[in-house]
Amino acid sequence: MTTSGQPDSQLIRPEGPDLDAAIERLRALSRQALLDHALAVADFVLGHFFGGDWTRYRDRSAHGHVSLRALCREREAEMAAMGLSLTTLRRYLAAWDRYRRLPELCQRQQTVASLELLGKVADPITREKLALRAAQEQWPAARLRAEVQATAAALARHQPKRGRPRLAPVERSLRQAVRGVRASTVVRAEASASIATLPARRRAALRSEVVAALAELQGWLAALADGNSEA
């Protein structure tokens, strides 16, 4: 109290830096509490519905998924009152799995959000190194997000592209020839009558072309059987 009987503002209003430190500490406590809550919920769900077996959880045909969906559907209001849903449970389970795979040195520095970010790095060794650096250097969330995005992009550039491989010219030509033969077999029965009406000279010329094409295909058959890559 001051001499005038008024509260001393210095006692009830800390300076700016103290307020900032208080807010940061409260945020850290909240994040840690959320992580502890998420891990505990995930641990319970895994044990109660999947016998504590992560492999069973990963198997989408496991009976535990039916029970888990039923819980979230039939007790939706009660689950929502606790801030839980099927999506949230799956999010916590994913965080639980990533958390257990990290070295103990950096586990307690994680949050649910940071574990989700680290999940974007597909390579487990790279993910672990990134988590260790983040913990040792005490990266803020924005720094971790930027590092994860850069690392994931770099890994993606070195990954083989998915989908069908690009065909070599000779392979493309042979496949086109095979498709042409297959298409001709579909109409062969109908075309037999038309072939019979062709003049003998044209039939002979056509037969010579087919024989020559068959000889080429026989040569390719031999090359493919022997592993010969020459065109």
Q: What is the pLDDT of residues 163-205, one digit of tens each?
A: 566 667 767 777 777 766 665 654 555 566 667 777 888 878 8
Q: Which of 94, 35, 58, 98 is nearest to 49 (CA)?
A: 58
The structural domain count of the chain equals 3
Is 110 found in the same domain as 94? no
Is 223 found in the same domain as 150? no
Residue 88 lies in a domain: yes
Is 148 found in the same domain as 90? no
Contact of 95 with 42, CB cutoff 8 Å: yes
Is 53 found in the same domain as 77? yes
CA distance 87 to 110: 20
Is 97 found in the same domain as 23? yes
Q: What is the largest CA-CA distance in the chain?
A: 128
**What string of DSSP letters covers 143-189?**
HHHHHHHHHHHHHHHHSPPPSSPPPPHHHHHHHHHHHHHHHHHHHHH
Residue 163 lies in a domain: no
pLDDT at 17 over 70: no
Is 93 found in the same domain as 108? no
Average pLDDT, the chain: 81
Type of residue found at 133: R
Is 83 found in the same domain as 111? no
Residue 96 lies in a domain: yes
Residue 196 lies in a domain: no
pLDDT at 172: 73
Is 153 found in the same domain as 217? no
Q: What is the pLDDT of residues 110-160, one digit of tens each?
A: 889 999 999 999 888 999 999 999 988 988 889 999 999 999 888 888 766
Contact of 68 with 48, CB cutoff 8 Å: no
Contact of 117 with 148, CB cutoff 8 Å: yes
Type of residue found at 1: M
Is 151 found in the same domain as 212? no
Residue 184 lies in a domain: no
Parent domain of 117: 104-157
Residue 193 lies in a domain: no
Is 90 found in the same domain as 19? yes
Helices 63-74 and 86-101: angle between axes, nearest 10 degrees:
130
Q: Which residues contact 50 (CB under 8 A, 6 or more apart)?
A: 56, 57, 62, 64
Please state whether the predicted TM-score (pTM) of the whole model is above 0.85. Answer: no
Q: Which of 231, 190, 191, 229 is nearest to 210 (CA)?
A: 191
pLDDT at 171: 72
Residue 31 lies in a domain: yes
Contact of 89 with 72, CB cutoff 8 Å: yes
CA distance 60 to 74: 20
